[in-house]
Chain A
Amino acid sequence: TQLLEQSPQFLSIQEGENLTVYCNSSSVFSSLQWYRQEPGEGPVLLVTVVTGGEVKKLKRLTFQFGDARKDSSLHITAAQPGDTGLYLCAGPPPGSGGSNYKLTFGKGTLLTVNP
Chain B
Amino acid sequence: DAGITQSPRHKVTETGTPVTLRCHQTENHRYMYWYRQDPGHGLRLIHYSYGVKDTDKGEVSDGYSVSRSKTEDFLLTLESATSSQTSVYFCAISDRTGGNEQFFGPGTRLTVL
Contact = CB atoms under 8 A, between A and B. Distances in A.
Interface string B80-111: 00000000001010101011111111110000
Interface centre among B90, B100, B107 (most CB of A within 10 A): B100
A45 B43 contact: no
B103 A45 contact: yes
B42 A45 contact: no
B40 A107 contact: yes
B42 A42 contact: no
B48 interface: yes
B103 A103 contact: no
A12 B100 CA distance: 31
Contacts of B100: 92, 101-103
A43 B43 contact: yes
A33 B99 contact: yes
B41 interface: yes
A107 B41 contact: yes
Interface in A18-54: 30-33, 35, 40-45, 48, 50
B98 A31 contact: yes
Nearest to B103: A45
A105 interface: yes
Given A101-B94, A101-B96, A102-B58, A45 B31 contact: no
B50 interface: yes
A74 interface: no
B99 A102 contact: no
B104 A102 contact: no
A88 interface: yes
A45 B43 CA distance: 14
A107 B40 CA distance: 7
B90 A42 contact: yes
Contact of A30 (B50, B92, B99): B99
